Amino acid sequence: MQEAAQAILDFNGLGLSLIEISHRSKDFVAVMEEARSLTKSLLGLPDRFDVLFLQGGASLGFLTSAYNFMPEGGSAAYVDSGTWAANAIKEAGRLGQAHVIGSSKETNYDRIPELSAVPAGSAYLHYTTNNTIFGTQFQSIPQVDMPLVADMSSDIFSKTFDPAPYQLIYAGAQKNMGPAGTVMYAFDRDAAGKTGRSIPSYLDLEVHAKKDSMFNTPAVFAIYVTMLTMRWMQSIGGVATMEKRNNQKAGLIYNEIDRNALFEGHAQVESRSKMNATFRLKDEKFAAAFDELWKSAGINGLKGHRSVGGYRASMYNALPVESVQVLVDVMQELERTH
C-alpha cells in the first residue's frame, strides 16, 4: 500500500502520477505486461492461455464467459452452489441453455452439491470454485469429460491447481488480488472464437487479446496494485506459500468452531472453504457479548451475509495467520466467561 501510495504521488520518478500518465505510455504498458506475465507464472498456466485485465467485475464475466464459449443455439452445464453461481446461470440463460447439473439451494447452499451426468452437447462445465457468501469450496476439480469454465473470484492464488482442464478462468480482483475495478480473464486462445455468434466488441475476449488487454482504457490503479500483490506473492514463494498459510488459517478457525461448544458451522464439514468460514452461535443470547468481544479486539466485518446470518470470517491471502488467532482467542474468551 505504501508503494501504491507513492505511485499516486510520483510514479517511477517521472514527476507524474500513475493515475495521470497515459495508459499507453511505456511505463504503464510495462505494468500491464508484468501483471499478465506474473499471472501466468504464478498460476503455472500453459502457453495456450492469454491473460487479460478487464472491467465489469465477475458479474460481467458471467455473461462474457457464455458469449465466448457457448455456441449459438447451444448449451452448457452449470453448478448452482451459491448466489454468484446462480447469477452466472441466469446470465448464461440469456444466450442458450444452462443445464443445472447440481444444486444445494434447498439447504441454503451449505454444501458443494453432488453432480449428475453432464447432458450431451454441453460446451463446457461452469462452476464457482469458492462460494464466498456461504463459505463452501470445491475440494477438488470436477471430473467431467469437457472443458471447464470457472469463476475463481474468491480463491484465485489461494492454492495450487492443475490448469489443464480449463478453457476459461475469471476472477474479480477485489478478494485475493487487489482493489476493486478490474477482473482477470485467463482463457484458451485456441478454444475461443468458435461459437458462431456475433460478440459485442467489449465482451469479445479475442478483441482484447489482440490489443494486449489495451482495447480501451484499463483500470490502471487496480491493475498496478494487483501487479504489486503478485510481486509480493512471488517474493515469498508463490501460490504454494499462500496455500500453506491458508491451510494454517483454516485449520485454526475450524478447529475452534468444532471444539467450542458455543459455536457451530454453517457449511458442511466436507465442503468447508479455506477463504470464508461461516459459523453461528448455537444460542443467540450470547450475541451481544460476542460482538462486544470481537469488536474490542479490533476485528472488523465479521457479520455474516444477510442470506446466511451468523458470522463469516474471510481469510483472504492478505490476512495474516495472527489475525485468525485473535478471533480464536476471542471465541475462547467467550467460552471462559459464558
Ligand X SMILES: *Cc1c(COP(=O)(O)O)cnc(C)c1O
Active site residues: 84, 151, 175
> In angstroms, how far is CA 79 from the centroid of its own chain?
16
Q: Which range of residues in 56-64, 101-109, 252-260, 322-330 is near ligand X by CB under 6 A?
A: 56-64
Contact between 324 and 315 (Cβ < 8 Å): yes
- Residue 55 is a binding residue for ligand X (CB under 6 A): no
Q: Which is nearer to ligand X, 17 or 59 (CB)?
A: 59
Q: Is 174 helix (H, G, I), strand (E, B) or coil?
A: coil
Interacting residue with ligand X among 28, 84, 109, 311 (CB under 6 A): 84
- Residue 172 is a binding residue for ligand X (CB under 6 A): yes
> In angstroms, how far is CA 9 from the centroid of its own chain?
30
Reference 219, options 266, 172, 176; nearest CA is: 172
- CA dihedral over 103, 107, 109, 114, signed as positive or negative: negative
Distance in Å, CB of 274 to ligand X, minimum = 14
- Residue 176 is a binding residue for ligand X (CB under 6 A): no
β-strands 148-151, 166-172 pairing: parallel
Q: Is 285 helix (H, G, I), strand (E, B) or coil?
A: helix
Distance in Å, CB of 104 to ligand X, minimum = 15
Interacting residue with ligand X among 31, 45, 54, 58 (CB under 6 A): 58
Longest dimension (CA), the chain: 65
DSSP of 27-47, one letter per residue? HHHHHHHHHHHHHHHHHT--T
> In angstroms, how far is CA 302 from the centroid of its own chain?
19
Distance in Å, CB of 152 to ligand X, minimum = 7
- Residue 91 is a binding residue for ligand X (CB under 6 A): no
- Residue 57 is a binding residue for ligand X (CB under 6 A): yes
Q: Which range of residues in 1-9, 146-154, 188-196, 329-337 is near ligand X by CB under 6 A?
A: 146-154
Provide the mask over 109-128, with x wherever binding to ligand X is found by CB under 6 A and - wherever it is not: -------------------x
- How many residues bind to ligand X according to rule CB under 6 A? 12
Q: Is 335 helix (H, G, I), strand (E, B) or coil?
A: helix
Q: Which is nearer to ligand X, 84 or 166 (CB)?
A: 84
Interacting residue with ligand X among 65, 103, 153, 167 (CB under 6 A): 153
Buried b (16+ CB within 10 A) or exposed e, 194-205: ebeeebeeebbb
List interacting residues with ligand X (CB under 6 A): 57-59, 84, 128, 132, 151, 153-154, 172, 175, 183
